Amino acid sequence: MNAIERFVERVSNVRFENCFNPYADTCPVHDQQSAPDIRRSNLTQILLALASAPSVDIWVGRDLGYKGGRRTGVALTDEYCLDTYASHLKLKSLRRATHGPAVRERTASNIFRLLDRADVPVTTWNVFPLHPHSGEDPLSNRHHTREEAEVGFAFLQELCVLLEVRRIVAIGDDAAKWTRKISSETIHVRHPSFGGQAEFLEQMRLLYPIGGLKGWQAQRR
């Protein structure tokens, strides 16, 4: 087992009350029987591809949402974005782990409007890598606790060692609070939710001003 596989295994073993771990847990409503295996495979493929890249940017959010990362196992990524992300990383595919129609998440849609402008490969991650929810409703979102964030932050720190990180982009205030502990040069942008979409897109387009062809992929041709 290599360092990436060990990393994914340890994330799979994290347990907190009122948290869904997509790499170990199965949603009785939406998931295929093999859903945790599929999501572990997705994450492992992504990180192995990024580990071989000479330079990587990390886009960091807060925690997994019930419409996005809970289903896909990929931060800031819904089921409509899996093919786009696979293409960005030159992976054959990233698989769905759920039954029924694909589900769209607004944050993920905004994130992936910018991906083709990036001049290096991008990994999406969160301060807390699981899906925290209210005790009464597993298909809801809540803010992570301080204890959850501290555990999650250790994984973010390790990810910055495993990958050749050029730049960390913190999406929202919660992400910025923790990513600044890694680097004072973290770039803080507005989260696209709650009326922040236009500002988020403008800030990201200033960071990644490449139009037309995909930046880093075009450079590799």
In the chain, which residue ranges form alpha helices assigned H by DSSP? 3-12, 35-51, 69-72, 82-88, 106-112, 146-162, 173-179, 197-207, 215-220
pLDDT in tens, 25-75: 999 999 999 999 999 999 999 999 999 999 999 999 999 999 999 999 999
One-letter amino acid at 178 equals: W
Q: How many domains, in total, are found in the chain?
A: 1
What residues make up the domain containing 61? 16-209
Is there a domain that residue 42 lies in? Answer: yes
Lowest average pLDDT, out of 75-79, 104-108, 120-124, 194-198, goes to 194-198
Specify the residue for token string 């949603």.
27
Is there a domain that residue 215 lies in? Answer: no
Is there a domain that residue 217 lies in? Answer: no
Choice between 193 and 216, residue whose per-residue pLDDT is larger = 193
Is there a domain that residue 9 lies in? Answer: no
Residue 54: which CATH number?
Answer: 3.40.470.10
Inter-residue contact 174 to 156 (CB < 8 Å): no
Mean pLDDT of the chain: 93
